[in-house]
Every structure is written in structure tokens, then in C-alpha cells.
Amino acid sequence: MLYDHIILKYGEISLKQKNRKEFIFQLHRNVKKLLKAFTNLEIKSSRDWITITLNGEDPEEIIPICQRIFGIQNISVAMKVSNDVESIKEAALFALKEAEDVKTFKISVRRANKKFPHRSPEMNQILGAHLLSNTDGFKVDVHHPDLELKVNIREDHTFITSKQYPGAGGLPVGSSGSTLLQLSGGIDSPVAGYLAMSRGLRIEAIHFHSPPYTSDGAKQKVLDLARKLAEYGHDINIHIVPFTAMQQKIHREIPFGYSMTVMRRMMLRISEIVASKRGILSIATGESLGQVASQTLESMHAINAVTSYPVIRPLITTDKNEIIEIAKKIDTYPISIRPFDDCCTVFVPRSPKTKPKKDKVEYYENQLDLTKELDELLANIEVVQVSSSAQAKDTLDELF
């Protein structure tokens, strides 16, 4: 006997009605893409789950990848046998003997095939008696078993599973459209990207780079963060904006208290331009309410006024410690704490306005002509595509 299949059970997709097929199709595509290195796999979708036939591939290598795919509730390693009682008994016995650290077990039979001669309660008894009479030291515990053997009798075969792993939940990446993530290199924005992807959003990233005030180390940090996020869905385009000249002019000509607000408004304007060119309909940020001066309600109101695009803020009510915990879970934290400044930490005024007045911001902006800097900046955006497994690919200048 052999565990020769993996079953990916849907999460929230199961609640969908008429458009369920579209979500399943997207999930199927994501699974195929992330498992493309395993060339022997056969992947098939049905209304309730995705079945992966291993054909000799190692499930221990495949399961951790499946756990990063949004849209999957749980993952089971399964044996597939014929709808024959003796075959099912043999597989169940193998599963029990093969399990480690097990003293108690429970059998759960689900009979989707109503033509199968034994009803579910009857099969529970048949299999339970078979296991107890052919082993020593095991007991049945229907409430808190060490091992639950699940027997799913389908139309033309039966799956027996005893090993289940949690999935990532959420919705398949790409099923909710796209967003442009402002990726700074800190702890928050990659977590925001991860949470946006968990709701089905495909992401591209925009990063504001200010050499020589920010280093190549800061830029590499962002590429590494994007590569880590790519493990959860797809290759990611990073739009690297040369922000130095504009940031210097804002710092030089805007009163200190308002320079941070004006800088953020320009970042949002530039993000909207990039998003529009890419056909992206929203912008995502790592803002958390009250965390810094630019993340008060007054600041966000003044900054948000420059765009009509939806600004998605997955972390807006999240505690900093919770954000750090997620960052550690998704393994972006060690990258985010590398000691390289990003453009948001240089030219920071000593006393930024925490309650900026929108009319004052607009007044100061009207005194400032940034047309030349904006044109040069847009003409020199560098676009890099990263994947989870490969080094940064060729620069995609053709995107602009």
C-alpha cells in the first residue's frame, strides 16, 4: 500500500454559487504553476477539491508548497483504492499500522456513492472491527482520537486519508483582480501584500528609491521581500521609482511640518499613474492607524485626497505586535529588519504634522512646480520581475 495522492480541499470557494467554476479554475491554475517543478504530477479539479496524483513524487516536498496556496482549507495525503470492501479494509489497516504515536483511533466514513452496498454507519463498524481484530493495543475513541481515518467512498474509487495539514485559506490569488502595493522595505508593507493576496488580489509592487540617501542594500531588500511574497502566488513586477530629485525639492521648498504629507501625496499620485498604465484598479499600503505621523486619520484624509483609486489598507486596525507575528510566520521579518534606510526614513522632519490641514497642503503644493521632476521620474522607472525560485529576471523596460 502507498499514500499516492494529495487532496486539496477548498475553503471559502465552497460558499460560492454560480461563479464557483471561475474560482476553481484560478486555483487550479495557481496550483499547477507553483508545482510545475514536479513533472510527474497529475492535477485534476472537481466541485469539492483538487486531486493530485503523485506518480512517485515525494509528498513531503509538495505539501509545504500547497500550504502557501490561498484558497485551500486543508491538505490530505490519501490512498486511492477500488470500491471493494476488502481493499478498503486492507488500506485502513495499513494506515493505522503505519501511523506513529497512535493509541486511539476513530473511523469516519462518507458514502458519496449511494449505490455502495454498505451505509456509512455500517462501514464504520465493519472497518472498526477489522482493525481491532488485526492489531494489538489500539482503542476506539470517537471524541479525542489520536488518529482519524477518513474513508470517502466515491462513484468509482475510495480515498482513505489519515494525515491532514492546514491550508492557507482565503481566495485564490488572481480571483479578485490586481493591486499596486507600495512596498517600502519595512515590516508592514510586505505583510499588507501577503494579506491582500490572501483575499485573491494579484499584486505588483512600487518602491520609491532615493540614492545616494538610500543604498543598493535597501533596493535589494525590497527585491528579496517581493521574492518571498511570490512564494504565495505568482511572479511580481516591482516598479522602482527614482525619487531623489523630487524628494530633495519637497524637502527644500515645503515647510518642514508639511513636507512628509506632500511627499506621501506625490507617492500616491505616482502610484496611481503606474497603476493606470498597468490596468490595475487599486493601490495597497501597509498603513496602520496611529502608528506614525502619516497614519493618523487627518493625515490619511489629506493624502488620500489626491486619488480617486481605492486605497486598500489591510493592516489599518492591526496591532504592531500582530503585524510582526505575521511577518515572522511568512518569513519576511528577517529581511525587513536588515539595517538599510528607505526613502521614508530619510528627510524626515523633526515635527511632522500629525493633523495636517488639506487646504494648507494644497496651498504649499500650488507654490511648487514638480512637473520637470515628475516627467523625468516617470521616464526612468525601472521595472524588475521576480519569482519565488529564480533570481531577478530581465528588466522589463517594455512595460513603459
- pTM to 2 decimal places: 0.88
Percent of the chain surpassing pLDDT 90: 82
Q: 116-155: per-residue pLDDT in tens?
A: 999 999 999 999 999 999 999 999 999 999 999 999 999 9
The domain boundary, picked from 126, 143, 166, lies at 166
Both 201 and 152 in one domain: the answer is no
Of the candidates 128, 191, 264, 204, which has an alpha carbon nearest to the alpha carbon of residue 396?
204
Count structural domains, the chain.
2
- State the Cα–Cα distance between residues 397 and 5, nearest whole angstrom: 43
Both 84 and 228 in one domain: the answer is no
Residue 27 belongs to domain with CATH number: 3.30.2130.30
108 assigned to some structural domain: yes
Both 75 and 153 in one domain: the answer is yes
- State the Cα–Cα distance between residues 49 and 163, nearest whole angstrom: 16
Tell whether residue 138 is among the known ligand binding residues.
no
Question: Is there a contact between 52 and 8 (Cβ–Cβ < 8 Å)?
Answer: yes
- State the Cα–Cα distance between residues 373 and 369, nearest whole angstrom: 9
Burial class of residue 47 in the structure, from the number of CB atoms within 10 Å of its CB (0-12 exposed, 13-18 middle, 19+ buried): exposed
395 assigned to some structural domain: no
* Arithmetic mean of pLDDT, 236-265: 93
Both 155 and 90 in one domain: the answer is yes
Which of 214-228, 271-285, 381-395 reaches the highest mean pLDDT?
Answer: 271-285
Q: 377 pLDDT exceeds 80? A: yes
Tell whether residue 220 is among the known ligand binding residues.
no
Residue 363: pLDDT band (50, 70, 90) is very high
Of the candidates 1, 73, 64, which has an alpha carbon nearest to the alpha carbon of residue 34?
64
pLDDT given at position 134: 95
Question: Is there a contact between 200 and 171 (Cβ–Cβ < 8 Å)?
Answer: yes
Residue 80: pLDDT band (50, 70, 90) is very high
Percent of the chain surpassing pLDDT 70: 97
Of the candidates 63, 91, 105, which has an alpha carbon nearest to the alpha carbon of residue 158?
91
337 assigned to some structural domain: yes
Q: Which one has a higher pLDDT value, 390 or 172?
A: 172
308 assigned to some structural domain: yes
pLDDT given at position 245: 94
Q: 398 pLDDT exceeds 80? A: no
Tell whether residue 295 is among the known ligand binding residues.
yes
Both 158 and 228 in one domain: the answer is no
Tell whether residue 208 is among the known ligand binding residues.
yes
pLDDT given at position 40: 96
Q: Which one has a higher pLDDT value, 2 or 327?
A: 327
Both 148 and 15 in one domain: the answer is yes
How much is the CA Rg of the chain, to the nearest whole Å?
27
pLDDT given at position 389: 55
The domain boundary, picked from 146, 166, 186, lies at 166
Query: Beta strand pairing status for 49-53 and 42-45?
Result: antiparallel
379: left (phi over 0), alpha (psi -120 to 50) or beta: alpha
Range of the domain at 224: 178-386
Both 123 and 204 in one domain: the answer is no
Tell whether residue 350 is among the known ligand binding residues.
no
171 assigned to some structural domain: no
Residue 352 belongs to domain with CATH number: 3.40.50.620
Both 247 and 137 in one domain: the answer is no
210 assigned to some structural domain: yes
pLDDT given at position 351: 79
> Phi and psi dihedrals of 283, rounded to 5?
-125, 135
Residue 400: pLDDT band (50, 70, 90) is very low
Both 139 and 277 in one domain: the answer is no
pLDDT given at position 44: 96
* Arithmetic mean of pLDDT, 275-291: 94
pLDDT given at position 1: 77
Q: 309 pLDDT exceeds 80? A: yes
Average pLDDT, the chain: 92
The domain boundary, picked from 98, 131, 166, lies at 166
- State the Cα–Cα distance between residues 283 and 303, nearest whole angstrom: 13
162 assigned to some structural domain: yes
Both 9 and 143 in one domain: the answer is yes
